Structure 1
Amino acid sequence: MIARLCLLLVLLTAFPAWSGTVEERSIPSPILGKPIDIRVYVPDEATGPLPVVYLLHGYGGGAHDWTGGGEAEATADAVFAAPDAVPMLLVMPGVGNSWYVDSEKYGPWERTLLDDLIPAIDRLYPTRSQRGQRFVAGLSMGGYGALRLAAHHPDRFRAAAAFSPAVFEDVTSAADFPDFQLKFFAGAFGEPFDPALFNRANAFAPLTAIPKDLPVDFYVMTGDHDGLGLWDGALRFFRAARGAGHAVELRVRDGDHEWRLWREELAPALRWFGTLSLSGR
């Protein structure tokens, strides 16, 4: 805690003052049939249209996670205070334990995010609505969501950052997973677990089909002591994406499946998104 406060103090004193406002909203969703609870970080000092980062929570979390344990507001204030920074809108939806997919149990969350939430954000805020100015990031279950949304929908997202992502290659049966992981899936891929549903949704298969004129870059971070063993899937995804010809950043950190890593990794990921935004692709 002391080290984080010292780092934040250094950042805030090194650059001009900057502040953002966090708004709470409830967005109507005709597709889902109920409102979407979101938090939105709006950089107060910015002028003109903004790139957008969709920041996804993990299993058991919600729209408040990234501004709570993730300290996203303070991190964004510090990052965007740098003279060469690209201020961005951060949108944090609450999706329950849906795994960011359409499912019988939780509802059509993938379609809701793509066809209700994104258009609503572009209407309500001064955004740069081109796919080259839209990014997605998340932790654990949200890291899975970020990778798969970008891989399946390169026409919507320029890049994805995943922190300790719960990402896996295709499986042949439920026995390919330990029991604790099946409990985390919580019916999002069928009850009982349906390997075919899972494989259709995963982030690996689309990597070789992403069009060359719609490049998607990836940023993957994992803790080397991840107690859920998720470092394995992160490294597999890195190799698969690199093998498919995509630009991929890999960070292996000393740590477990924990907020400390995710908090610390948000700042470099936001700066990375900013660099891609400036490239204009």
Structure 2
Amino acid sequence: MALIQLSFKSRALMLQTSVNVLLPVGMNAVDFTPSDDFSYVTDPFPVLYLLHGATDDYSAWLRLSSIERYAEEKKLAVVMPNADMSAYTDMVHGHRYWTYISKELPEFMKATFPISQHREDTFAAGLSMGGYGAFKLALRQPERFAAAVSLSGAVDMREASQPDSLFVNAFGEGAKIAGTDLDLFHLIKKLAVYEGAKPALFQACGTEDFLYEDNVRFRDYARQVNANLTYEEGPGGHEWAYWDRMIARALDWLPLKTTN
């Protein structure tokens, strides 16, 4: 895998921002000998937009999980952006992170790297706040995402505009979230009547996680509206040991095309 660490000035954010990109290469280092040709794969790679949680940043997945090793086995490009404490939302008090993540960043990545532009090759995943962001991407843009993964996701944001919420700056104090496109319950209900191809969803949460009850509530509602949801739970808290284990499981679940 190649690791590209880059910064660029985002027009949506109106500031410099950083993103880590893992990109497969076409040369097998294990089998390489000095007499071999130096040839690299140029076909576009499937891509996973991998989102960090609250209080973390774009470097967290690389530092605290084995995502590079897992993605290399799948020949999967991974894009890890920075989103601060935005809840992947155009913040009321802050920057336009929804516009950046959902529009500008994918266009920038596709223009810069050999990343597939096909829906069937495009996925989102994240943990905690990033799990909310990943599901929101897929549910609001089902025409672009084939699948999304939420690990210990902050899937119920309906009270996140309360003064004591971590995300009050994102949503605005007292703002209505329930029943809007900021509400995953509302979005998954809308998806039920969407006539196009619907993204597959993978949801996992540890049974000792403080977000476990929220995740069970979302799971039950998703089943009620007949969403294409795969749900897994098991021992684990809101911790990297659980997320590292489950991101490997989630990559096995993704509907990736067979690689050579």
> Within 2, Cα distance between the matches of 1:218 and 1:172?
23
2:216 aligned to which of 216, 225, 235:
235
The alpha-carbon deviation at position 51 of structure 1 amounts to 0.8
What is the CA distance between 1:163 and its match in structure 2? 0.5
Partner amino acid for 2:25? D
Q: Which residue of 1 aligns with 2:146?
A: 158
Specify the alignment match of 1:107 in structure 2: 95
**What TM-score, normalized by structure 2, do the two folds share?**
0.86
Cα distance in 2 for residues equivalent to 1:237 and 1:253: 16
CA drift at 1:209? 2.1
Amino acid of the structure 2 residue aligned with 1:21? A
TM alignment of 1:173-192, pairs within 5 A: 174=162, 182-190=164-172, 192=173
Is the 1:27–1:120 Cα contact (8 Å) retained in structure 2?
Answer: no
- Measured on the aligned residues, the alpha-carbon RMSD in Å equals 2.1
3-state SS in 2 of match to 1:126: coil
| In structure 1, distance between residues paired with 2:160 and 2:50 | 31
Partner residue of 2:37? Answer: none
Q: Which residue of 2 aligns with 1:119?
A: 107
Shift of residue 183, structure 1, vs aligned partner:
3.5
After superposition, the C-alpha distances for 1:8-56 in whole angstroms (9 at most, x for unaligned) are: xxxxxxxxxxxx1211011332121113310001112373211110000
Contact 1:27 1:117 in 2 (8 A): no
Distance 1:185 1:199, change over 3 A: farther
Q: Which residue of 1 aligns with 2:127?
A: 139
CA contact (8 A) 2:24 2:75 kept: yes
Summarize deviations over 1:134-180 as a string: whole Å, max 9, x none: 11000011111111121111122111101100111645984xxxx8x
SS in 2 for 1:67: helix
- 3-state SS of 1:208 partner: helix
Alignment check: 8 A CA contact 1:189 1:198 kept: no
Write the deviation string for residues 252-280 of structure 1: whole angstroms up to 9, x where unpaired.
Answer: 1201111000001111211222xx2339x
- Is residue 267 of structure 1 aligned with residue 235 of structure 2? no
AA paired with 2:87?
Answer: W
Which residue of the partner structure matches residue 256 of structure 1?
A: 237
- Partner letter of residue 268 of structure 1? R
Task: Name the SS of the counterpart of 2:18 in structure 1.
Answer: strand
Partner AA of 1:64 in structure 2: S
Aligned mates of 1:58, 1:171 — CA distance in 2: 18
Q: Could you give the per-residue CA deviations for residues 63-120 of structure 1, whole angstroms, max 9, x where no partner exists?
A: 100000123113323xx1xxxxx42110000110100011121211111112210001
CA distance in 1, matches of 2:133, 2:161: 21
Counterparts of 1:271 and 1:96, CA distance in 2: 29
- 1:221 matches 2:212: no
Higher helix share: 1
Corresponding residue for residue 188 of structure 2? 207
Contact 2:158 2:177 in 1 (8 A): no
Gaps of 5+ in 2: 27-39
Identical positions, percent: 28
- Separation in 2 of the partners of 1:125 and 1:170? 37
TM-score where L is the length of structure 1: 0.80
Q: Which of 20, 30, 41 is the equivalent residue of 2:11?
A: 30
Conserved? CA contact 2:178–2:186, under 8 Å: no
Which residue of structure 1 lines up, in the alignment, with residue 57 of structure 2? 62
Match of 1:9 in 2: none
Q: Distance in 1 between matches of 2:202 and 2:151?
A: 8
1:173–1:124 distance in 2 versus 1, CA, 3 Å: closer
